Amino acid sequence: MTIMTSLNETYFIEKRRKIEHLLQEVLPSTTTPPYLLHRAMRYAVMAPGKRVRPILCIIACEVSGGDESQALLPACAIELFHTYTLIHDDLPCMDDDDYRRGQLSCHTVFGDAIAVLAGDALQALAFDLLVKAQKSSSTVNQKDYVSELAEIASTCGVVGGQSIEIECGEKGMTLETIEQIHFMKTATLFKASARIGAMAGNASQNQIDCLSAYALNLGMAFQFVDDVIDASDRSSTGVTSGKKKRHEFNSVNILGMEVASERANHFTLQAESAIARFEGKNKQLLIDFARWLLKRKS
């Protein structure tokens, strides 16, 4: 696939800057008790990250005819929820990972108990922000942001996906199982991000339907790219950067680099196809975003 994109790094830097500024505002202060818990929450959320899901939320709002200001609070809620999933995934009883986003994982710094509580608190705060965003929304067709996130937070989404990953173990993985886990743990949150952003922009049903299919495929591609990047890093360095993986699998270990890369390309093309009938402005932004994610190196 020949990749041509009109997006540049400045676009993403600016979106991340606005997202992170608001995250600083909505997170509890470390000078407010319980101090250690609030420190842990801030430590995990403000770690360096691409902010892909909240950026997708904002993009979905903009291409649906809305302004980024309408999607910033929901976008931050999504990032808080995502960070909760990362904290819990890293726990010794889950993936047992010492590092996250280039720094020590939350439980490694603050202990297992505080990390669990930090994840719990971030999930609660995410839903609280969505309620506030929904109440302050000026869109004509009021939508239920909370239901969108609650649906993928259940056993049908990220929690269920993590459970299947633990139950199967790497030896029991097939392509079908891998894609089921990627769908539940990653793609569903991409879908919620796009749908909530579209709703914030007062999207039509056509726009919501197209963006839902686009985001699901985008999430699948994103996770396969992540697996390829992780496997490439291990291959080039011969180490796992201090990581300890108990249950977590990498699709490259099972399918091979070529197949995993092919699946990433396949789902990127499916994402582009999903918006062929999208009725809105700047459809190219969605295509550029998908291709940027496909070609990223980290």
Decide which of 175 and 3 is more confident. Answer: 175
| Two tokens, residue 31 | 């000078």
**Percentage of the chain surpassing pLDDT 70?**
90
Report helix, strand or coil for 104: strand
Helix axes 68-90, 112-136, angle to 10 degrees: 160
Q: Which residue has the higher pLDDT, 9 or 150?
A: 150
Closest CA to 222 of 258, 179, 253: 179
- Hey, where are the domains in the chain? 9-295
List helix spans (H) across the chain. Answer: 9-26, 35-45, 52-63, 68-90, 106-110, 112-136, 145-152, 158-168, 175-182, 188-200, 205-237, 251-255, 257-274, 283-295
In this predicted structure, the answer to whether residue 239 has a pLDDT above a threshold of 70 is no
Q: Note the pLDDT tens digit of each residue in 163-217.
A: 999 988 767 788 999 999 999 999 999 999 999 999 999 999 999 999 999 999 9
What is the rounded average pLDDT for all residues in the chain? 90
Model confidence at 235, pLDDT cuts 50, 70, 90, reads low
In CATH terms, 9-295 corresponds, of 1.10.600.10, 1.10.4010.10, 3.30.420.40, 3.40.50.300, to 1.10.600.10
Check: CB of residue 196 under 8 Å from CB of residue 59: no
pLDDT in tens, 108-160: 999 999 999 999 999 999 999 999 998 887 664 556 899 999 999 999 999 99
Task: Say whether pLDDT at 238 is over 50.
Answer: no
Contacts (Cβ under 8 Å, ≥6 apart) of 255: 175, 178, 263
* Among candidate residues 164, 178, 187, the one with its CA nearest the CA of residue 251: 178
**Using CA atoms, how far apart are residues 293 and 114, in angstroms rounded to an integer?**
33
Give the residue from 288, 77, 41 showing the smallest Cα distance to 197.
77
Encoded tokens for 291: 């291709």
pTM of the full predicted structure? 0.93
CB 58 within 8 A of CB 72: yes
> How many angstroms separate the CA atoms of 19 and 53, rounded?
11
How many other C-beta atoms are found inside a 10 Å radius of the C-beta of residue 9? 8
- How far is Cα 197 from Cα 208, in angstroms, rounded to an integer? 9
What is the structure's pLDDT at 1? 31
